[in-house]
Structure 1
Amino acid sequence: MHAVGNFLADITEWGWDDAPARRLIFRTDLPRAQRFLPRYLPVDADRKLTAALSDSPYRLAADALLVQRACGLRIGELLDLELDCIHEIPGQGSWLKVPLGKLDSERMIPLDEEVLTLVDRITATRSPGRPMRHPRTGAPADFLFTHHGKRLSQNAVRSELNRAAETAGLGHVTPHQLRHTYATALINAGVSLQALMALLGHVSSQMSLRYAHLFDSTVRTEYERALNLAKSHIGPMPTGRTQLPITDITDGGWKDAPAIKSRLAGGYCLRAPAQGSCPYANICEHCPSFHTDSTHLGVLAAQRVDAHDLAEDAENRGWIDEAKRHRTLVSRLDALIAQSETA
């Protein structure tokens, strides 16, 4: 598109007879460049890399990377930290002062005891020496990461990261992925967009919103991983719990009970409206590991009838979310039944 647009502009400027009489290609006609989501480390890979860095014999570079992961710093911001970067604020704990970086923004990041211990270890490991000229201001500065009278270089940090990633059995990892991993962990923990902007030093909400788009894919990955793990570690069911005090429930009458209801494989579940829907109700039918065949068509059909009746019952009682849950289950059962019939 760019090439064609430039060609048409050139022949118009050159006065060719075949040049179009008016402009044909506009800026809005150009396709948007693909925007790649930030590459974060999955939880298991993050833990393996952290363990490899913690056991590294190259302490200064390894600890620098641990600080970057714990605070979400850019590599330039990390290596520009000075000895007095830790600030104690009365009543607010310890904070890391991040120097001016890529976007000329200075910020403060709250620290926990683990990071404070890490910084103390770095202070003891680094090589003391005379202040060095700051590349941004030109003023003498005592940098946190110094080794044999020189500043720790980006190449040294990247080399240590490559070594630790290989030890952990991971592929190629970049220092900026540690920042992405920090941001992804925060957004999945429910940190607000405004807080994320402040912690990452973003001057535009669009920069932080990239991490919000990670939410669906990250949750899906973690959901499937946790679900498979839970299936392999199912413990005994709790005993001694009192049941919902609903009496006179005859065969089939449970569907008319004034409670939130779910049809299960071997029975049914009744919950008081104040308890809300059970988060595990019908989870198996929606699980990607769930499989069925034509021998279970009778069970699936009966479950569909019950789910349809329960959806209407919930709608009549004004339980919109509960009705929606049953309608979603009906759609899922329709798909499973159709799949079983064609198998």
Structure 2
Amino acid sequence: TGISLTTNATNYRRRTLGIVNSLPRCGGPIPFQERLAQVTAPLREEIIGYLERKKATCQTKTVSVLATRLKHFGVFLATIDPDLSSIAGLDRRRHIEPWLSSLLDTVSDKDGQPISIGDRNRRVVAVTTFLTDITEWGWDVAPARKVIFRDDIPKLPQVLPRYLPIDADRRLQEALTDHPTNELAALALRVQRACGLRIGELLDLELDCVHEIDGNGAWLKIPLGKMATERMVPLDVETLDLIDRITQIRSHGRPLPHPRYRRSAQFLFTYLGRRLTQQGVRAELDHAADIAGLEHVTSHQLRHTYATALVNAGVSLQALMALLGHVSAEMSLRYGRLFDSTVREEYERALDLAKQQTAPQATPNTAPSNTGPGGRTQLPLTDITGGQDWKDTPLLKSRMAGGFCLRAPAQGACPYANICEHCPSYRADASSLPILAAQRVDAEALARDAEDRGWIDEADRHHKLISRLDALMANTQATAG
């Protein structure tokens, strides 16, 4: 009785003074039990068990995103089949197909708008991965049969990287340089554009990130990022000056905990004693874009712009992968599809051929503005070659004593090209030596052109002609002497 009175008195005082039995949660991740409260208890425990297992191999943020997507699936199952007692009872017709159909009408919790095809794709992939994992692990809760297949995953559109055009890029850089509201954030964006960093990699840069290598210049050490890999990026003088300025204006203070390595670190971008945030960087980018007269620009577009500039400059695929930190060639090839020099060259070649087929034909001796039979104007020779020297055209070329021949690469080498020069019955006299010498000079130029374009067989053909011309001129000179 005494214990009951004491307990009642304590509870009365707690209610009177507003004392709670447990402290409220302030910050930090929401517990899985709370996040999955709308999922029926049996399914909730199985999903939580899976998420706890994923913590061992995935980052905390990855597991958190996975929990959100599995929650959506669990809530749907609780709605259409509240009596379902285990994931093992999933049936394709009763559960999976209705869920896949419902995604078309599902709305976002944030804005109430239908979710995008990308969100639909990620939700189906998350559930597919969940079921695949527990099956491979041999869990008893895994369905006995496969219920989701590859064709169930919505296909994502293959969009090209969203780079900034040259003029827009220039105006944005000028705005970041001349009109910053937060100089540190503006400098961070300029470094991101100069090195092609992801925003997480940018803000994780440490104070000692610049490395000087004897005879090989300065390099930027980029920390672990999205692909969990480190890399080194070469720096030019302008970017080194940016980093020097950053070290001058950054906040100096005690080391801060590193989000990946669980150790203290001196970060490059510290502002008012704290790390520069993504929100601060985005706010500065919005300000600069407004001054530059641009629509909404994301920081990741600066990375796309950096990669596009490299592709335009002719950087190799291997170098692009190393600079961007890509782990597969497919990731870098997205930029290669933007401006493919081979595609451009083939387009120009085809366009030239089309113009030749539709334009009036010309002869080598036709002068500009000459009028042929019937009053038809005949074009000058340069119109056949698109206005450039015939030796520079993107076509297969052959030099002959009286002119030249052009063929499309798709046609392949002509089997009759220079057949006379290679014929055993061919003879030349002393008066033909200047012509043969000129033909040899052109053959050397054509061989180099073919090698530059990767036409190995065509280059070999020209080299054989050069050898034959050398023999002909030597025999002719010997006979004349």
Partners of 2:242 and 2:95 lie apart in 1 by 64
**Superposed counterparts of 1:1-343, under 5 Å:** 9-10=93-94, 27-28=150-151, 32-57=155-180, 58-215=182-339, 261-263=381-383, 271=389, 273=390, 275-277=391-393, 317-321=404-408
Residue pair 2:161, 2:334 contacting (<8 A) in 1 also: yes
Of structures 1 and 2, the one with the larger relative CO (CA 8 A, separation 6+) is 1
User: In 2 relative to 1, CA 127–205 (structure 1 residues): closer, same or farther, beyond 3 Å?
Assistant: same
Greater shift in the superposed pair: 206-215 or 160-169: 206-215
Per-residue CA deviations over 1:121-166 (Å, capped at 9, x if unaligned) read 1111111111111111111111100111111111000000000000
Partners of 2:149 and 2:277 lie apart in 1 by 45
Deviation (angstroms), 1:188: 1.3
Rg comparison, structure with higher value? 2
Q: Give the TM-score, by structure 1 length.
A: 0.61
Q: Secondary structure at the match of 1:88?
A: strand
Paired positions, count: 242
Partners of 1:153 and 1:188 lie apart in 2 by 32
Greater shift in the superposed pair: 185-194 or 108-117: 185-194
Deviation (angstroms), 1:215: 1.6
Per-residue CA deviations over 1:10-32 (Å, capped at 9, x if unaligned) read 3899xxxxxxxxx9x96348663
| Structure 1 outlier segments of 4+, above 3 Å | 25-31, 247-253, 268-271, 321-324
Partners of 1:80 and 1:163 lie apart in 2 by 23
Per-residue CA deviations over 1:104-124 (Å, capped at 9, x if unaligned) read 110000000000001001111
Q: Secondary structure at the match of 1:82?
A: coil
Per-residue CA deviations over 1:50-77 (Å, capped at 9, x if unaligned) read 0000013321000000000000000010
Deviation (angstroms), 1:7: 8.7
Deviation (angstroms), 1:213: 1.5
Deviation (angstroms), 1:37: 1.6
Deviation (angstroms), 1:47: 0.2
User: In 2 relative to 1, CA 101–12 (structure 1 residues): closer, same or farther, beyond 3 Å?
Assistant: closer
Partners of 1:39 and 1:54 lie apart in 2 by 23
Match of 2:351 in 1: none
Partners of 2:257 and 2:365 lie apart in 1 by 84
User: In 2 relative to 1, CA 187–269 (structure 1 residues): closer, same or farther, beyond 3 Å?
Assistant: closer
Unaligned runs of 5+ in 1: 1-5, 14-22, 221-246, 254-259, 280-312, 325-343
Unaligned runs of 5+ in 2: 1-89, 98-145, 345-363, 373-379, 412-481
Partners of 2:219 and 2:277 lie apart in 1 by 25
Residue pair 1:261, 1:270 contacting (<8 A) in 2 also: no
Partners of 2:278 and 2:92 lie apart in 1 by 46
Q: Secondary structure at the match of 1:209?
A: helix
Q: Secondary structure at the match of 2:184?
A: helix
Partners of 2:225 and 2:324 lie apart in 1 by 11
Deviation (angstroms), 1:270: 8.0
Deviation (angstroms), 1:317: 4.6
Aligned amino acid, residue 40 of structure 1: Y
Aligned amino acid, residue 275 of structure 2: R
Partners of 1:146 and 1:121 lie apart in 2 by 13
Partners of 2:95 and 2:201 lie apart in 1 by 49
Aligned amino acid, residue 35 of structure 1: Q
User: In 2 relative to 1, CA 27–51 (structure 1 residues): closer, same or farther, beyond 3 Å?
Assistant: same
Match of 1:297 in 2: none
Aligned amino acid, residue 46 of structure 1: D
Q: Give the TM-score, by structure 2 length.
A: 0.44
Aligned amino acid, residue 38 of structure 1: P
Q: Secondary structure at the match of 1:319?
A: strand
Residue pair 1:277, 1:322 contacting (<8 A) in 2 also: no
Residue pair 2:366, 2:381 contacting (<8 A) in 1 also: no
Q: Secondary structure at the match of 1:46?
A: helix
Deviation (angstroms), 1:85: 0.4
Deviation (angstroms), 1:263: 2.7
Aligned amino acid, residue 50 of structure 1: Q
User: In 2 relative to 1, CA 249–87 (structure 1 residues): closer, same or farther, beyond 3 Å?
Assistant: same
Partners of 1:198 and 1:12 lie apart in 2 by 41
